[in-house]
Amino acid sequence: MPTPTFNMEHHWLPFTPNRSFGSDPRIFVAADGMLFTTHDGRQVIDGISSLWCVGAGHNRKPINEAIKKQLDTLDYATAFNASNDQAFKAAEMIAAMAPGDLNKVLFCNSGSEAADTALKVALAYHRARGEGHRNVFIGRERGYHGVGFGGMSVGGIPANRKVFGAALLPRVDHLRFIHDPVRHAYIHNDEPVWDEDLLLELEQRILPLHDASNIAAVIVEPVAGSAGWYVPPKGYLKRLREICDRHGILLIFDEVITGFGRLGTGFGADFYGVVPDMLTYAKCVTNGVIPLGGVVCSDRIYDGMMKANEGAPEHAIEFFHGYTYSGHPVACAAAIATLELMKAENLFERAGQMGKKLGDAMHTGLKGLPNVVGIRTLGLAGAVELSPIPGAPGKRAYDIFMDCFHRGVLVRPAGENIVLCPPYIVEQAQIDQMLNVLADAIRRNA
Ligand SMILES: Cc1ncc(COP(=O)(O)O)c(C=O)c1O
Average pLDDT over the chain reads 97
Look at residues 318, 344, 370 and tell me which one is the last residue of a structural domain. 344
pLDDT of residue 5: 87
**Which domain CATH number covers 226?**
3.40.640.10
12 within some domain = no
Q: Is residue 5 part of a domain?
A: no
Over residues 103-127, the mean pLDDT reads 98
* 336, 363: one domain: no
What pLDDT does residue 4 have? 81
> How remote is the CA of residue 276 from the centroid of ligand 1, in Å?
18
Tell me which of 344, 377, 411 is where a domain ends. Answer: 344
Which pLDDT value is given to residue 50? Answer: 98
Residues 202 and 260 in one domain: yes
Taking CA atoms only, the protein residue closest to ligand 1 atom 3 is 145
Closest ligand 1 atom to 114 CA: 4
The finding on whether 221 has its CB within 6 A of some atom of ligand 1 is yes
**Ligand 1 centroid, distance to 293 Cα (angstroms):** 9
pLDDT at 85 over 90: yes
Considering the domain architecture, whether residues 46 and 74 belong to the same structural domain is answered as no
Residue 109 DSSP one-character state? S
- Is residue 166 in some structural domain? yes
Average pLDDT over residues 216-222: 98
Domain assignment present for residue 13? The answer is: no
Q: Does pLDDT of 241 surpass 90?
A: yes
In this prediction, residues 3-13 reach a mean pLDDT of 92
Rounded CA-CA distance 277/241 in Å is 9
Percent of the chain exceeding pLDDT 70 equals 100
Residue 252 sits in the same domain as residue 154: yes
Whole-angstrom distance, CA of residue 85 vs CA of residue 106 = 15
- Cα 26 versus chain centre, distance: 23
Query: Are 191 and 312 in the same domain?
Result: yes
Angle between the 329-344 and 85-97 helix axes, to the nearest 10 degrees? 40
Look at residue 10 and tell me if it is in a domain. no
Considering only CA atoms, give the Rg of the chain. Answer: 22
**Domain range spanning residue 127?**
64-344
Q: What per-residue confidence (pLDDT) applies to 165?
A: 86
Write the DSSP symbol of residue 4. Answer: P
**Same domain assignment for residues 98 and 230:** yes
Handedness of CA 126, 130, 132, 134 (dihedral sign): negative
Average pLDDT estimate for 179-190 = 96
137 and 159 in a single domain? The answer is yes
Determine, yes or no, domain membership for 11. Answer: no
pLDDT confidence of residue 1: 66
What separation in angstroms does the CA of 172 have from each of 63, 214, 433?
A: 40, 11, 44
Residue 111 beta carbon below 6 angstroms from any ligand 1 atom: yes
Residues 204 and 317 in one domain: yes
Is 382 part of any domain?
Answer: yes
Q: Does any ligand 1 atom lie closer than 6 A to the CB of residue 143?
A: no
Q: Which protein residue has the closest C-alpha to ligand 1 atom 7?
A: 111
- CATH number (domain holding residue 418): 3.90.1150.10
Q: Which CA distances in Å does 165 have to 168, 345, 399?
A: 6, 46, 30
The model's pLDDT over 302-333, given as tens digits with 9 standing for 90+, comes to 999 999 999 999 999 999 999 999 999 999 99
pLDDT band at 3 (very low <50, low <70, confident <90, very high): confident
Q: Which of 117, 152, 223, 226 to mutate to test the pocket of ligand 1 (most atoms within 8 A of CB)?
A: 226
**How many domains does the chain fold into?**
2
The last residue of a domain, from among 344, 376, 404: 344
Q: How many residues does the chain have?
A: 446
Q: Is residue 288 part of a domain?
A: yes
Q: Are residues 111 and 225 in the same domain?
A: yes
pLDDT of residue 428: 98
CA 416 to chain centre: 19
Q: How many helices (H) and strands (E) does the chain have?
A: 16, 16
